[in-house]
Structure 1
Amino acid sequence: MQESQASDRPLAYRHRPGAGPTIVFLPGYMSDMEGAKALALDRWAEQHGRAMLRFDYGGVGASGGAFEAQALADWRDDALAMVDQVAEGPVVLVGSSMGGWLMLHVALARPDRVAGLIGIAAAPDYTGWGFTQEEKMTILREGRIVHGERVTSRAFWESGEGLRLLHAPIHIDVPVRLLHGQQDETVPWAYALEIAKQLRSADVQTILVKDGDHRLSRDQDIALLIATVEQLLEAL
């Protein structure tokens, strides 16, 4: 396990040197770098001599910090720190769910480093459309809301509201691939079309999996992800 200091706390990461661009995996909310998709990409990178970086946001997995103290902006800054301090040269960001929101912000902040984007059920602006008005009031009144094992803090929600993107054109010009399952009950697949519409890039492909769920972690889903990554890297 490797460790980097960012945003006043240590971040755990695993960096595999190899041919670039470096694949940087951005996990979803309450997910970490040991998830099925991240590990499958890492195995593929090892087999093909490709550079790969996966990491845990602050307060998640093996990284330090308290989970409920984190804001979306903190995790954006963690991702930027990984790109700035660990990855070398151009990067291709692979963002899962909330990680797909973060990858857009990283691409906007580092246009000179980001060569391509791949979203997996990307969920930009989730704090806006992912909660009912009553749930939003609960967050503001009580400081948190709990859905099963999922906890959303006021700090995270308020930060997310300040980082919404879909209300205006997204000034990103690199190639973008958006994978989304049409049986996704967490992030409606129509958001993939909305992201594609708002992106300035002309090289955007939306790939819908008719029987795919939110995680897209079945063998065939992971095979599709790897094929998409491979094709994009070859094109670059």
Structure 2
Amino acid sequence: MTEIRFHEMPDGRRIAHRFTPGQGPTLVFLPGYMSDMAGSKATALFDMAVHAGRACLLLDYSGCGQSSGDFADGTLSRWRDEVVALIAAAALDKVVLIGSSMGGWLMLMVAEALPDTVHSMIGIAAAPDFTDWGVAQMDKGLLADGETIYEDNPYGPEPTPTHPGFWADGQANLQLESPIGFDGPVRLLQGQRDAEVPWELALRLSETLRSDDVQVTFIKDGDHRLSRESDLAVLMRTVAELVLARETAA
């Protein structure tokens, strides 16, 4: 098990991460909302990278996993800055961003911030703009008034909170309203039995991306997590194809 290290942000936040060196481009996994680098997809990706001699970076956003901070203070912009800081600290020249659910929104923001560094992206049930399409109008009113809303959590006993700061920041960083200026390869993996993200969103994201090299893979019986062995096999094949494409192009 590669040692967990901590990167200190200017305000003192300590961001937990794991890094294994190797051939590039570096695989960077971006977890979903309230998730961390101990999840099955992140772990499988890291193990694959270690065995294949590939560079890989995992991280916990502030307020999540082993990173310091309060989850209630978390926003997409805050977490984007943490990802960018880790990539800079590790001096990574080329990366493949792999974003799960909310991480699929965050990867678009990181790619915008690092246009010369991000080689390609893989979205796993990517959920850009979910503060807009995934929140009821009544709840939007409560959030706008500064209240936290809570929803049933299908993955645990505690309800899932949406804090007003996160919601407002999400609304300020909507991606699907205008073309997304990324020209590199993008692969989108989407389960059609996903109860959280409508599978049609993958098509909308594909259309919004400026790149012509976008492929959408639907997994008909796949749920939101896409963490079964068969789902992970699809992910690993997708990663391998992008890495090989990068090396062939080089």
Same fold? TM cut 0.5: yes
Q: CA deviation at 1:135?
A: 1.2
Q: Output one character per residue of 1:5-38: Cα deviation in whole Å (capped at 9) or x when no partner.
A: 1252110000000100000000000000000000
Among 243, 247, 250, which residue is 1:233 paired with? 243
1:197 partner SS: helix
1:222 pairs with 2:232 = yes
The equivalent residue for 1:10 is 14
**Residue in 1 that maps onto 2:129:** 125
For 1:7 and 1:83, the matched residues in 2 are separated by: 15
| Counterpart amino acid of residue 70 in structure 1 | G
CA RMSD of aligned residues (A): 1.0
Cα separation, partners in 2 of 1:147 and 1:7, compared to 1, 3 Å? farther
1:220 is aligned with what amino acid? Answer: S
Match of 1:173 in 2: 183
Query: Residues 222, 158 of structure 1: CA spacing in aligned structure 2 closer, same or farther, 3 A cutoff?
Result: same
- For 1:162 and 1:142, how far apart are their aligned partners in 2? 16
Could you tell me how far 1:42 is from its partner in structure 2? 0.5
Task: Give a deviation string over 1:100-139, Cα, whole Å, max 9, x none.
Answer: 0010111111111000100000011110100110111122
Do the aligned residues in 2 keep the contact of 1:7 with 1:74 (CA within 8 Å)? no
- TM-score calculated relative to the size of structure 1: 0.98
Other-structure match for 1:115: 119
Alignment equivalent of 1:203, drawn from 209, 213, 221: 213
Match of 1:214, SS? Answer: coil
CA contact (8 A) 1:7 1:77 kept: no
Percentage of pairs with the same residue: 50
The answer to whether 1:51 aligns with 2:55 is yes
1:23 aligns with 2:10: no
**Is structure 2 residue 176 aligned with structure 1 residue 154?**
no
The correspondence for 1:191, drawn from 187, 201, 204, is 201
Distance in structure 2 (CA, Å) of the matches to 1:37 and 1:191: 21
State the distance in 2 between where 1:78 and 1:135 align.
28
Gaps of 5+ in 1: none
Q: Secondary structure at the match of 1:155?
A: helix
TM-score for both structures, normalised by structure 2 = 0.92
| Whole-angstrom CA distance in 2 between matches of 1:217 and 1:57 | 21
Instruction: For residue 51 of structure 1, report the CA deviation from its aligned partner.
Output: 0.2
Alpha-carbon distance in structure 1 between the residues aligned to 2:197 and 2:34? 15
> How many Å apart are 1:97 and its aligned residue?
0.4
The CA distance in 2 between the partners of 1:89 and 1:13, in whole Å, is: 18
Taking the aligned partners of 1:67 and 1:21, their CA distance within structure 2 comes to 30
Partner residue in 1 for 2:155: none
Deviation at 1:69, TM superposition (A): 1.3
Whether the 8 Å CA contact 1:53–1:87 is kept in 2: the answer is no
- 1:25–1:53 contact (8 Å) kept in structure 2: yes
